[in-house]
Structure 1
Amino acid sequence: MFLILIINTFRSDFPILHLYVILSNKGKVWSCCPKNWKSFSSHCYFFSTDSKSWSKSEEDCSRMQAHLLVINTKEEQDFVIEYRNCSCLLYGLSDPEGSNHWQWVDQTPYNQSATFWHSGDTNDTKEHCVMLNYQRGRWGWNDVLCDGVQRSVCEMIKIYF
């Protein structure tokens, strides 16, 4: 037996659906994502429909208590490719100093061996942000100008109960 209580709240123009589940069996764990977000593994993903610069996209994600997408596995990237709503998406990876020192927005350590760059695509000294796109027959990462506008993906940890 359990009781479900649903409460809608609003934070900075972003509605968050809170689902509270009170269980008689304390061993169960429930999780959910906000409305209009997609669920994969232990995270929730929001696919934007507006094209914005990298910094504006990260600001939008922050307002939703999230951050631009951080890719940790090929399975996660495959999930994003499956649910994408356009041909390219901004990621939460950047090289702010232009010194080929790539950083994830959530401070996850950058691991060169766990990346999906298109061949030769980290070679432009003016391109300090990253997007996913399809070229030469495969999906991969491409460095791009940070002030260029693209759609993006926000990511947050699932809400657990």
Structure 2
Amino acid sequence: MDEEHLHDDLQVFKDGNFLQRKLRSFCPVYLLLALSFFLTVTLSAVSLSRVSAISSKLNELRPEEKRNQTVPGRDFLLFPCGPDTRQWEYFDGKCYYFSLTRTSWHKAKAQCEEMRSQLAVINSYAKQNFVMFRTRNERFWIGLTDENSEGEWEWIDGTDYKSTFTYWKEGEPNNSGHNEDCAHVWVSGQWNDVYCTYECYYVCEKPLPN
């Protein structure tokens, strides 16, 4: 049986069409492989080119534009008033600064304005609680005065005093001494009127940064 198989194999190899048939059967496979390789190389080159172009455009953006396009991250969550202004505290959509030094009402007003803010306007019980908690046992100026007309109290931002929240200490405002034209948060958290040259701490407020 082995000799018969050997004889048959020799006959096949002697047939010149054997190699040709084999080559013809493999040609489509080689062509497909070559085409796939060519397409892969071409797509890779195009992708690299696009990535390079996008990277170049990003590098050309101004620093402000990059910041504007950045999604708020951990710093925003930890410091909503801005990572560079950590002395400001967030509450109910606004930022608050509680001073560490004492000064008169008018100087406090000017210092808040220098920081692009204003003396705090307390127009709700929630805000009163927030300020009262932070200022307990000390006196802090707020943005309330009747300098323009005695007894006609006005909030510094134009908020209607007569129709909004108030939290005066019992018996206040009393204009004792006829010069108590500015309001501050008393040690108990309630409001008190006092002469505007009195020196105490102050509270500034401003909107959240854009």
Q: Are 2:70 and 1:22 aligned?
A: yes
Aligned equivalents of 2:199, 2:184: Cα separation in 1: 11
The corresponding residue for 1:76 is 127
Q: More helix by proportion, 1 or 2?
A: 2
* Structure 2 runs not aligned, ≥5 long: 1-62, 72-76
Q: Over the residues paired in the alignment, what is the CA RMSD in angstroms?
A: 2.5
Contact conserved, 1:49 with 1:85, CA < 8 A, in 2?
no
Show the counterpart of 1:12. none
How many residue pairs get aligned? The number is: 136
The answer to which structure, 1 or 2, has the higher relative contact order (CA under 8 A, 6+ apart) is 1
Give, in angstroms, the shift of residue 37 of structure 1: 0.4
> Which residue of the other structure, out of 193, 196, 200, is the alignment partner of 1:143?
193
Q: How far apart, CA to CA, are the structure 2 residues paired with 1:114 and 1:45?
A: 19
Q: Which moved more, 1:50-59 or 1:31-40?
A: 31-40
Cα pair 1:86 1:151 within 8 Å, conserved: no
- Change over 3 Å in CA distance of 1:50–1:86 after alignment to 2: farther
Tell me how far 1:32 sits from its aligned partner. 2.3
Unmatched tracts of structure 1, length 5 or more: 1-6, 8-18, 24-29
Q: Does 1:56 align with 2:104?
A: no
Name the residue aligned to 2:179: 126
After superposition, give the CA deviation of every residue in 1:67-118 in whole Å (9 maximum; x if it has no partner).
0010011111111122227511111000013421111111111135510001
The equivalent of 2:96 in structure 1 is: 45
Query: % of aligned pairs identical?
Result: 31
